[in-house]
């Protein structure tokens, strides 16, 4: 059996996939790690990813994937690496061996550039912690990999110009070299579309995890049918388009979000939820505000299971 557990980490992502045999986990994959800290909120069950892993008895992670460098996806990684033995950390980009902390431009008031500096330093500490704990840090490679005799994963990389720009700018920042200001800004803004997407296959069923790669950025790529879809970017208005959804036709669509979004973050977007529901599939949110077609809810997480015969089911916890 494959168990896919979408943790309620508020406005962020953390997904645990476990292949179970005779009640024992034989392979554990963690995709993203949520934020490093979540302030408790009245009426919310959200909590840091480490607590879900501990509660589910996870003592070993075979693979930790970090989809892209935003705090709501990598922020909890360092604590998890310190607490749980992890074999491999995989990411599109890895700091060079001589990387140091990135020094912020002290005369800059640019939130976008300064935010990138902050995240690169968080990522620096994540990878150094991984190395100290004996976890191998490896770049992701495109294509299919066999994880067990029943579980495989296909890695879908972002567009090549996005990859090249990110590597050029990030390397220069880590190594203290000159960086073109416009490229610095673009690399920071393109982090969502730099998301690595992962398509897991088990018993003839597929699970597509999209990071935060906006739908318009990949809707013209080869169709990716899936039975379970994790919506990108927390179900906001950019997260899905009708043509892309119609090419996938998932049975279950999961949105990782929080039930008190700000005015600037309409998550999940009511129009997107209605679009998803129009397929006849089931739309689930780890947490959501009241919507015209969906009641408010908060869960510890959403658990989807795929049996060895391909039977698929879903429950909330």
pLDDT given at position 114? 93
Q: How far is CA 62 from CA 247, 269, 304, in A?
A: 32, 34, 20
pLDDT given at position 290? 95
pTM over 0.85: yes
Helix (H, G, I), strand (E, B) or coil at 210: coil
pLDDT given at position 298? 98
What CA–CA distance (Å, rounded) separates 185 from 69? 14
Handedness of CA 102, 106, 107, 111 (dihedral sign): positive
Q: Over the Cα atoms of the chain, what is R_g?
A: 19
pLDDT given at position 106? 82
User: Average pLDDT per run of 10 along the chain, which is 317 residues long?
Assistant: 98 98 96 96 97 97 98 98 98 95 86 94 98 98 97 98 98 95 96 98 98 96 92 96 94 96 88 97 97 97 98 97
Tokens encoding 154: 């296909």
Tokens encoding 313: 């089911």
pLDDT given at position 137? 98
Q: Vertex 238, ends 234 and 242: CA angle to 5°? A: 105
Class of domain 2-316 as given by CATH: alpha beta
| Bridge partner residues of 15 (DSSP) | 6, 31
Q: In terms of C-beta density within 10 A (0-12 exposed, 13-18 middle, 19 or more buried), how is residue 251 classed?
A: middle
Residues 6+ apart with CB under 8 A from 177: 171
């Amino acid at each position: 059996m494959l168990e896919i557990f979408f943790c309620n980490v508020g406005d962020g992502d953390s997904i645990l996939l476990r292949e179970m045999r005779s009640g024992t986990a034989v392979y554990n994959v963690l995709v993203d790690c949520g934020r490093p800290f979540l302030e408790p909120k009245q009426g919310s069950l959200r909590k840091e990813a480490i607590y879900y892993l501990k509660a589910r008895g996870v003592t070993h992670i075979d693979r930790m994937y970090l989809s892209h460098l935003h705090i709501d996806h990598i922020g909890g990684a360092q604590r998890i690496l310190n607490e749980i033995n992890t074999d491999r950390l995989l990411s599109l980009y890895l700091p060079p061996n001589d990387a140091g902390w990135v020094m912020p431009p002290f005369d800059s008031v640019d939130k976008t550039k300064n935010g990138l500096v902050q995240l690169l330093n968080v990522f620096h500490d994540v990878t150094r912690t991984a190395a100290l704990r004996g976890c191998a840090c490896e770049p992701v490679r495109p294509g299919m990999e066999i994880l067990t005799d029943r579980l495989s994963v296909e890695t879908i990389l972002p567009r090549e110009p996005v990859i090249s720009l990110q590597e050029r700018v990030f390397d220069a920042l880590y190594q203290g070299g000159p960086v073109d200001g416009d490229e610095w800004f673009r690399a920071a803004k393109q982090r969502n579309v730099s998301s690595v997407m992962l398509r897991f296959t088990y018993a003839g069923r597929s699970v597509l995890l999209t990071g935060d790669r906006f739908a318009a950025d990949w809707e013209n790529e080869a169709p990716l049918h899936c039975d379970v879809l994790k919506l990108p970017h927390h179900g906001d208005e950019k997260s899905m388009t009708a043509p892309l959804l119609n090419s996938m036709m998932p049975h279950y669509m999961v949105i990782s979000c929080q039930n008190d979004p700000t005015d600037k973050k309409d998550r999940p977007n009511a129009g997107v939820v209605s679009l998803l529901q129009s397929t006849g599939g089931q739309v689930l949110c780890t947490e959501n505000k009241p919507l015209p077609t969906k009641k408010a809810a908060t869960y510890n997480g959403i658990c989807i299971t795929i049996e060895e015969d391909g039977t698929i089911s879903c429950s909330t916890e």
